Amino acid sequence: MPSPSAPDPSRRTVLATGSALGGVLLTSGLTTQATAADRAEATALPADPWRTVLDDADLVWQRMPTTWYEGPFLGNGFLGSGIYAEPGAASTAVRFNVQHSEVQDHRPEFGSLFGLARLPIGYFTLEPVGAITGLDWRLSLHDAELTGTLTTDKSTLTLRALVHNDRSVLAVEVTASEGESGFRWVFHPADAISPRAASRPLPDGYRGNPPAEVADHDGTTAAVQPLLAGGQHVTAWRERTRGRTRTLYVHVAHSYPKNTALEQALKAVRAADRLPYSALAVTHRAWWHAYYRKSFLSLPDARIQRFYWIQLYKAASAARRDAPVMATSGPWLEPTPWPNTWWNLNAQLEYWLIHGSNHLELDAITRALSEFRDNLANEVTQPYRADSLGIPRTTDPHLVNGAASTLMGYGVGIPGQNPPTPEVGNLTWALHNVWLSYRHTMDKSVLRDVLFPLLRKAINYYLHFLELGPDGKLHLPATFSPEYGGDSRDCNYDLMLLTWGCRTLLEAAELLGTDDVLAPRWREVLAKLVPYPTDANGFMIGADIPFAKSHRHYSHLLAVYPLYEVTGRTPDERALIETSLAHWVGFEGALQGYTFTGAASMSALLGKGEDALRYLGELMTRFIQPNTMYKESGPVIETPLSAAQSLHDMICQSWGGVIRVFPALPAAWADLAVHNFRTQGAFLLSARRQGGTTRWVRLLSEADALCVVRHGIAGSIDVRDGRGRLLPYSDAGDGAIRLALRKGESALITTRGDRPDLSVAPVRPNEDAPRWGLPLT
């Protein structure tokens, strides 16, 4: 990014709209403005807005990282590598972790946190000849590669590393100067035992898997890890020497119940090592370059802008549609109390950013819930399996919880009974993510084949337990609000999800033209369900439990965010939100990082940009680590990813059928550029803010949904189509207009008579900021 004293970027440094290339003038709606000379100048310029913001966001290391929270990280949703100094040997070795999101145990009798836990694989150490005296590394977001040098008292090692996008191979190229030609790689297999064993007692009868067996296979080495339940995971590697350069190729395969992983791993390594690193990098970089160009965001806070682009890199490193739903630490497994997927907040938060950033190719939640739906019936007790589904607090990638976890209180449970703890709402909340994917694409197959049938059975589970009270209202027996402690009747976590679920089922049935036999029951619930319990401090945990202690989770506030069932549409409702929010964050002690991302998004709902920015500042100052990872009794990744969604909520909201452009920006963000931000209704939003004023807004329709947009442009406006012709629109009230856009049509909104420059470029930062990573300063 340019420094504060640098001149403004040329107005011809542009962002493409409707094109995958930078340097193309956005002319939709103002076709007479750009002359041939303008177009020639724009085309000739080499500046690339994506490359500009991505290069600026690169993490750098000029000091040795010593933990997971400090080092570079590489991944492709399956294979992951975190890189930092070997503990206790920082001057003699650098660790390249090798972990994989599919590698797990298969002993359900010990539950999801032991018997079905993700298993650690091991790590390589890069061991120079001399003692390490310095380093200069850069993690290129644009290319998804780590490059740089490692200096020793003997010489220098120059390295490049990537986890290949398609081949799922870790490739590390090292070129040694004179004096370091004898460096070596050493593989250290990990004990194949649940990472939870480091912090919790083992279940009776549980033991770790036998040691890995390391052997040579015609020049390729493999560590074969047998599993007590059957199957294996295998790490295979080979090093190739080309002149003074040596390249390590590593692949991990997992098979269960068959022992086929060895063959798979050897085949993958032998196919990759025929290619030099530079050849592997070509196809790898091509995927990443195309990935970033699906959207664009630039804002004047350099630190937060860099953070945002790092989260997009992190998301694609940790998630793919066909990869397992992210576990709490993504593919970068470390010792943790949480070695699997968590469904009462973590998974939901991890995937929110994919919608606005236009990255539905990362949506593993919709795919997994659909693919493994049969397992969800087994997570409720036998009497309810015919017509109900649920998901417990934790599962493996196949959405299996396992017997022991249920006994320990991690199952779905039965309302009114404890043990096990009746944590009932998790599946409905997870299906809200699926609903978001539907709303942002308007893909009716998602609605018809996934959301409606699964949500119908998730809500059905609630319907079994609703009771009509003497007040004429429907009540829930005691259930559990995640993490607060204690069960309560009429728990807000469940009442809020039940309300959203019934409303969504009725809407979906109408859209699908389905006359569902349960529709009258859903309407009855909406008409008779007891109001959300409140007191003088706002929303309670439930009818029996006030909110009276520090609590990191906003399980009692879901109707505010992310469900948008309570939005402040009346003065009393707004006061209720404000009171509840202030009371929640007013208890210090147990607050954690995602407390502040939730508070930021709720503030954005209220249009309070300064408050939203302040909460994000608290997050950055208190919790975000040097490499933008997050620590909470162990490595977890949901909070930084959800902070990216908090930024989205400040920049654009599209709940309730209305697109709100720049609804909660702080005054310091006077300039902002957004391109191809995906909204509900399947619109792609591009907009520019300059000097505190919204100059123009463009919406491209990918479906035939009605477009209602609160554009934020003061005074009279012009609305033009993609050929510059005036478009009719109607007043929708409250500063919004209503447009009829067919699929493929666009609308450009400007001040009447204005012909603004439609080029979009990275905005100038208000002040300089240090890079993420471990720079010297």
| Cis status, amide bond into 420, omega within 30 of 0 | yes
Between CA 719 and CA 724 the distance in angstroms is 9
What pLDDT does 512 receive?
98
- pLDDT at residue 578 is higher than 80: yes
Distances in Å between the Cα of 442 and the Cα atoms of 138, 329, 365 are 40, 31, 17
Summarize the confidence of residues 702-717 as an average pLDDT. Answer: 96
Q: Any residues with CB less than 8 A from the CB of 258 and at least 6 apart, and which?
A: 230, 231
* Percent of the chain with pLDDT strictly greater than 70: 93
Measuring CA to CA, which residue among 78, 53, 233 is closest to residue 761?
53
Domains along the chain with CATH numbers: 59-292 (2.70.98.50), 654-767 (2.60.40.1180)
Q: Is 391:343 a contact under the CB 8 Å cutoff?
A: yes
What pLDDT does 217 receive?
98
Average pLDDT along the chain:
92
Which backbone phi and psi does 131 adopt, to 5 degrees?
Answer: -80, 140
The end-to-end CA distance of the chain, in Å, is 17
- pLDDT tens-digit series, residues 651-691: 999 999 999 999 999 999 999 999 999 999 999 999 999 99
Between CA 156 and CA 132 the distance in angstroms is 9
The number of residues in the chain equals 777
**Bridge partners, residue 652, by sequence:** 661
Q: Any residues with CB less than 8 A from the CB of 298 and at least 6 apart, and which?
A: 49, 53, 305, 672, 673, 674, 761, 762, 763
Helix or strand (DSSP H, E) at 467: strand 467-468
Distances in Å between the Cα of 703 and the Cα atoms of 363, 390, 509, 595, 752 are 20, 32, 19, 35, 27
Residue 637 class from Cβ within 10 Å (0-12 exposed, 13-18 middle, 19+ buried)? Answer: buried
What's the alpha-carbon Rg for the chain, to the nearest Å? Answer: 27
Measuring CA to CA, which residue among 746, 699, 696, 701 is closest to residue 717?
696
Under the banding of pLDDT at 50, 70 and 90, the label for residue 759 is: confident
Structure-token pair, residue 583: 């009371």
What is the per-residue DSSP string for 710-751?
E----S-EEEE-TTS-B---EEEETTEEEE---TT-EEEEEE
Under the banding of pLDDT at 50, 70 and 90, the label for residue 634 is: confident
- pLDDT tens-digit series, residues 22-68: 333 343 343 333 333 333 333 444 489 999 999 999 999 999 999 99
- pLDDT tens-digit series, residues 472-492: 999 999 999 999 988 999 999
Q: Any residues with CB less than 8 A from the CB of 415 and at least 6 apart, and which?
A: 422, 424, 462, 465, 476, 477, 478, 479, 494
Distance of CA 695 to the CA centre of its chain: 30
pTM value? 0.94
- pLDDT tens-digit series, residues 13-23: 233 333 322 33
Least confident of 198-202, 257-261, 524-528: 198-202
Which backbone phi and psi does 152 adopt, to 5 degrees?
Answer: -125, 175
Summarize the confidence of residues 109-115 as an average pLDDT. Answer: 95
Task: Answer positive or negative: Cα dihedral of 711, 717, 723, 728.
Answer: positive
What pLDDT does 22 receive?
33
Residue with tokens 């930024």: 647
Residue with tokens 């303008």: 38
Under the banding of pLDDT at 50, 70 and 90, the label for residue 777 is: confident
What pLDDT does 729 receive?
97
- pLDDT tens-digit series, residues 260-312: 999 999 999 999 999 999 999 999 999 999 999 999 999 999 999 999 999 99
* Percent of the chain with pLDDT strictly greater than 90: 88
- pLDDT tens-digit series, residues 724-736: 999 999 999 999 9
Q: Is 143:55 a contact under the CB 8 Å cutoff?
A: no
- pLDDT at residue 643 is higher than 60: yes
Distances in Å between the Cα of 269 and the Cα atoms of 167, 372, 650 are 9, 31, 45
